[in-house]
Each structure stands twice: as C-alpha cells, then as structure tokens.
Structure 1
Amino acid sequence: MADWPAEQPTGRTDSIVRRQRGRTALASLAAAVLVTAAATGCGGPFQDLGPLPPRFSGPPLPADAVVSEMTSVLAAEGITVARQPSEVLGRCTERLTGRHAPGTVDSALRAAVERARSEHGWQAGPDLGNGALTLTKGNWTALTALPSPDPEQQTESLVVMSLTCLDGGSPTATTSPTPVPTSS
C-alpha cells in the first residue's frame, strides 16, 4: 500500500483553491459580458412603424346580411341550411346547419365556396389543412369542414358552416365599472 501524506501543506492547498476560484470568477465574468453584449449589441433599436392596420377594412357587415348571403350561396348548390345564432362577449357567431346527399356533399361545398368568392366577394381564408374550407369578408370568417367520405352511409351528410365576426373591437355586452373602495 502506498504511503500518502496525511496532510498537504496549507499554502499549496490554498493556492490551488484560489486559482480554481479565480478561474471560475473569470469564466462567470466572461459569460456575463457575452450575455450583455448579445442582449444589447446584437439587436438594434426598435423602429416605430405606427399603429397596426385594422383587422378588416370597410364598415362592419351585419350578421343578417352575411347569413343571408351564405344561405343563398349554399342553396344555389342544393344545400338547405337553418340558422342557429349565438352570442359570445366581443364576438358574434352564427351557425348554419343542414343535410345533403353523401355522394355529392364534398363537391357541393367546394362549389358553394367558389361561388361565394366569385359572385359575392369573399376571399380565401387561412389554410387549416385538408378537410376545412375558410373564407373571409370584411369582419367575418366562414369555416366549413368537408364531411369524411363513408361509402356505406345511407342517410344524408351533416353540413355545418360556422360564421364568426369581430364587431370592430366593441363588445356586444357592456359591463359597468366596479367602484374602487377608498380608505377614509
């Protein structure tokens, strides 16, 4: 068995510990300098680009006009729908539901969306992937999902079109401000 010294001289141990602490402090200081340089030196000052553009242009479209327009577009393609309105704070939503023959529902919905674009000025909405068709016009967004094909389906396919609007930023229901208690 090797003979290890029971203790090393105090001066040598202290100098090793001091060197390690010095390296750690130097590394920490270098890291702090790099982080500060990255945070301030790499990014330029923010440029004021002015107010954000409006979410939609033109006056807000009334719900009755949009529902009537979409109902007629769907009816032109043989899809009869009924209106189911609902109100959510700050948003208005409408829902059109109906049924159509399962073999032609896909092509009828695609034709209705194309008719809304060409005859009524609706624009293509955000792409939500396969099976969803979206349109936008003014403050309204229309969304419908293509029913999944089922060759054995004997009954008519359910057609749902959701219409959502932004009321120009003003909520439909107003709340009164809560009084702030004051200390006397």
Structure 2
Amino acid sequence: MTSQNLARLSQRMSAVTLLLIIAMLLLNAALWLFPQLSAESGYGFGFGLSNSLSSHLAAGAVFPWWQTLGGILLSSIPLLALAFGLSHLHQLFQSYARGEYFSSAAAVHLGKVGRGVALWVLLDFLCEPLLSLWVTLNAPAGEHLISLSITTPTFVALFLAACISIIARILWQASEVDSENRAFV
C-alpha cells in the first residue's frame, strides 16, 4: 500500500471513528426514549448498559421523564469514557494521515485509546448496579433489582486495552529511537 493510499485510508478511519462516537451516544439515548427499539421488543437493537436492562425497558415500563433522563445519563457515563478513547483514535488516524507514524504524539494517542477502553470496562461494571437500581426505583417493595455482570467480552476488552497500552509504550520507545537516529544524521 502506498503512503498516499495509507493516508487516505487513515483519513477515512478518522471520519468513521467520529461517526461511531456520535452513533453510540445517540443509540444509547434512543433506546431510553424509544424502548420499543430494544432487542427484547423484536427490533434487535441493544447497546451497552441499556442492552443489559432491555427486558425492563421493553416490558412496557413507562418511566417518568426524570427517570428516563437519569437512565440516559447513567448509561452514558461508560460510553463517554469510550468516546474519550475513540476521540484519541480519531486523532491517531489524523496523525497517520499526515505521515506521522513514529511520533511521540501518536504513541500518546494510542495509549489514551487503551486507557479509554479500560476505563469504559471499569465504569460499565460500576454503573450497572446503579442503573439497575435506578430503573427499579419506583418498583414496589421487593421488586427492586441490583444487577452485576462480568462477561467474556469484558475480559476481551480488558485484554485488548492492555495490549493497546503495551503497543503504545513500544511506539513511544520507537519514536524516541527514531528521534535519536535523526539527531545523529
């Protein structure tokens, strides 16, 4: 692949990353505002914490506006951490589009992608019990729910976050060696 094709591909991936950030936040809010879209209702949409509580959302539960807004905010907290990581992925692709392959800035962006993914997993784990309690806040006594789950994708995401962080360290070291080599020439 030529450097011009690689630059074009990086620019496209940068744009796709921005679209992904917007789409995931909008889909999360849409599942709260229109619960009939959820996987439990037959439309097949599900996303993050909203998906894990989709049976409550699709069960015909009508939430007051403040509870819906709180649900959107609580389920968006982990997504905002992921959006942080994805925004750095966007910046990394922009650096690559400019031909900055071994820059320390690229390494920093890649490291923040890994941290964003790890923080997303942690916040997802912490927010799920809060969100499940929030959803059942108005339920009669004895029907309150506290949900906590650890799934295989959780471990995969943590593993990938660790790998991305290690690769970022390697890239940072490579950029240092590259800078030293350029200084000698």
- What is the TM-score when the length of structure 1 is the normalising length? 0.23
Which has the larger share of strand? 1
Larger Cα-atom Rg: 1
Q: Determine which structure has greater relative contact order: mean sequence separation of CA pairs < 8 Å that are 6+ residues apart, divided by chain length.
A: 2
- What is the TM-score when the length of structure 2 is the normalising length? 0.23
